A and B are shown apart, each in its own frame.
Chain A
Amino acid sequence: MSVSKQDVFYVAHLARLRLNDEEAERLQGDLNDILGYMETLNELDTSNVEPLEHVIEQPAILRKDNPAEPLSHEDALKNAPDADSDYFRVPKVIE
């Protein structure tokens, strides 16, 4: 499997990143280099191996559904790049 420059632009789009031509070329090289190294995993037969999702096995722990103080309005908006007194502001979505 080899990654094309088109693939890099496609994946960048999925990841919501913009790349220029030169970056896309460099990353194409990097990704092929790294993914090539990852091919070594194919030396292993894992057909009878269960995927490992949690490194520690423990039962789900439930808590009482007690009401608690949420984050205050002020705190929630504190780091907003753009906000009025009540809401986050974003650019117009409908053209």
Chain B
Amino acid sequence: MDSKGSVDLFEEKVERYIGAIDAFEDYNIITGFDREQVRQRAREIRSKLETGSAGPLAGMVVAVKDVLCERGKKVTCSSETLRNFESVYTATSVQRLLDKDALLIARTNMDEFAMGSSTENSIFGPAKNPVNPEYVTGGSSGGSAAAVAADLCDVALGSDTGGSIRQPAAYCGVVGLKPSYGRVSRYGLVAFASSFDCVGPFAKTVEDAAMILQHLAGYDPMDQSSSQAPVPDYLSEIRSKKHLKIGIPGEYFAEGLDPEIRFAVEEQLRALEKEGHTLHPITLPHTNYAIATYYILATAEASSNLARYDGIRYGHRADADEMERRLKEGIDDRPTADIYSAGDSPLIRLYKQSRTEGFGDEVKRRILLGTYVLSKGYYDAYYGKAQRVRRLIQNDFSNAFREVDVIASPTAPTTAFKIGEKTQMKPMEMYLNDIYTISANLAGICGISVPLGTHSNGLPMGIQFQAASMHETDLLHAAKASESLGRS
């Protein structure tokens, strides 16, 4: 292909994506999109391509989860709190792609502040699965997964705190990679649970995911938790073949797993064995404690992180004049059981009213839970205990990775569920959906979901691989081997 031809193809592709974004408007996948800005930027990249000065990601079209800051753009986190918030700086992960001449096409829908597993907790409405719009996309990065699946972009950025990249990737039938904790800078990622949050890519192929990771990864002086470990050349590494020791944890094939997903994963593993990889039964004995541990620690961190939304410097503020009027007229609709708010100053009232109006139900539930487990008298019983169990879970993985290179499992126990189906149930039902993905965030290791064909219900399935901290190369080897079997 001559360069003139490829430059034309780039602009054609951008126009095709713009058209597709319009066509999928009622799927609630996109939260922010400015077509003229996109075209302007496409022209800039085109002229760089023509003069041969373009960066290595020129031609790549990227959607960004609405939780990553982009200067001059709305960053809403799908929350009323940030509906009109415009970022004054750019996240390192986003900046690194921009610097390499990627085109950022749109912002994507998510569960409010990344809290959820379905992208239904959003002021923009529930994101609909492109495979079947009656079903959820998964979450919390559902918009990014759907944007890749619906062909609205080449790749997308998401964030994964307990499975929020891998689970929607499985539900939508795309590749979703959660890097090791610290592999990618969190600077400019709106914080949910800082000891868990990771930025990572969605893509149509494992190689595309590897290419994006290549540019995202590496130490950032703006994030003290980012790792200084050297970044391997992922693409060239995975183009050479490697025979892997694949661990199969019995705990991930237990009760609650859809039998068809189980069969598909087991069949895939047998096929990988025929390719020369070896299978090893392993045990991760603390798996059943992962969800309880996670929901103590992550909500505790969230309650602290979300304390910043007080409506003073930015974000939603309640109508102060109206509050003052009610105060003067002696109107008090505080429930009688709420004896604690009696002495609130006007400023405290403003904080409370602003936060109450700004946050949705799930966010409030998690803030309250996190506040409770950190409160006096309960701290040791919940938070302290969970920190100790977190170490046991990490030890499980350290022991396993002494024997095997990667761990294979389903990504989620079921395919996507119907929109509205789980919001009617108790919150625990939704939390239990994270069973196979959540441990990686507790242990700080990396994980990837790769498409694994279609269930008889017509919805995509996914296989997950996990590898030790900073062993993304093994992860990508396994993912590529699985993808090469052609069941995606």
Contacts and interface: CB of A to CB of B under 8 A. Distances in A.
A49 B388 contact: yes
A92 B195 CA distance: 37
A54 B195 contact: yes
Contacts of A79: 84-86, 88, 313-315
B444 interface: yes
Interface in B79-114: 84-86, 88-89
Contacts of A30: 365, 426-427
Contact of B337 (A1, A16, A21, A90): A21
Given A40-B292, A51-B384, A82-B317, A17 B224 contact: no
B289 A40 contact: yes
B314 A81 contact: yes
Given A49-B392, A78-B86, A79-B85, A11 B320 contact: no
Most buried by A among B180, B372, B387: B372
B381 interface: yes
A33 B428 contact: yes
A33 to B, nearest CB: 6
A82 B320 contact: yes
A12 to B, nearest CB: 6
Contact of A24 (B335, B355, B426, B428): B335
A90 B314 contact: no
Contact of A52 (B289, B390, B426): B390
Interface string A73-95: 00110111110000010111101
A45 to B, nearest CB: 10
A14 B371 CA distance: 7
B385 A81 contact: no
B295 A38 contact: yes
A61 B185 CA distance: 14
B233 to A, nearest CB: 22
Contacts of A33: 426-428
Contacts of A27: 364-365, 368
B330 to A, nearest CB: 14
Contact of B371 (A11, A41, A80): A11
A36 B367 CA distance: 17
Contacts of B428: 33-34, 37
Interface string A42-78: 1010100111111110101101000000010001101
A53 B346 contact: no
A46 B350 CA distance: 42
B362 to A, nearest CB: 10
Give the residue among B84, B335, B368, B375 with the most A Cβ atoms within 10 A.
Answer: B368
Interface string B322-355: 0110000000011101111100011110111101
A91 B303 CA distance: 25
Contact of B350 (A13, A78, A91): A91
B293 interface: yes
Contacts of B84: 79
Contacts of A40: 288-289, 292
A27 B369 CA distance: 9
Contacts of B365: 27, 30-31
Contact of A31 (B89, B372, B385): B372
A11 to B, nearest CB: 5
Contacts of B70: none
B312 interface: yes
B347 A52 contact: no
Nearest to B341: A13
A31 B335 contact: no
Given A10-B340, A51-B388, A18 B346 contact: no
A41 B292 CA distance: 7
A44 B371 contact: no
Contacts of A91: 320, 323-324, 346-347, 350
Nearest to B444: A55
A16 B352 contact: yes
A34 B324 CA distance: 37
B464 interface: no
B159 interface: no
A90 B335 contact: no
A6 B337 CA distance: 7
Contacts of A37: 291-292, 428
Interface of A: 1, 3, 5-21, 24, 27, 30-31, 33-35, 37-38, 40-42, 44, 46, 49-56, 58, 60-61, 63, 71, 75-76, 78-82, 88, 90-93, 95
Interface of B: 84-86, 88-89, 180-182, 195, 221, 224-225, 227-228, 286, 288-289, 291-293, 295-296, 303, 307, 310-317, 320, 323-324, 333-335, 337-341, 345-348, 350-353, 355-356, 359, 364-365, 367-369, 371-372, 375, 378, 381-382, 384-392, 394, 426-428, 431, 442-444, 469
The 6 closest A-B pairs by CB, nearest first: A55-B444, A79-B314, A51-B387, A81-B317, A13-B340, A46-B388
29 contacts: A1-B378, A8-B368, A9-B337, A11-B368, A12-B368, A18-B352, A18-B353, A19-B338, A30-B426, A31-B368, A34-B369, A35-B372, A35-B382, A41-B292, A41-B386, A41-B389, A46-B389, A46-B392, A55-B182, A56-B180, A56-B469, A58-B182, A58-B227, A61-B228, A76-B313, A80-B314, A90-B347, A91-B323, A92-B346
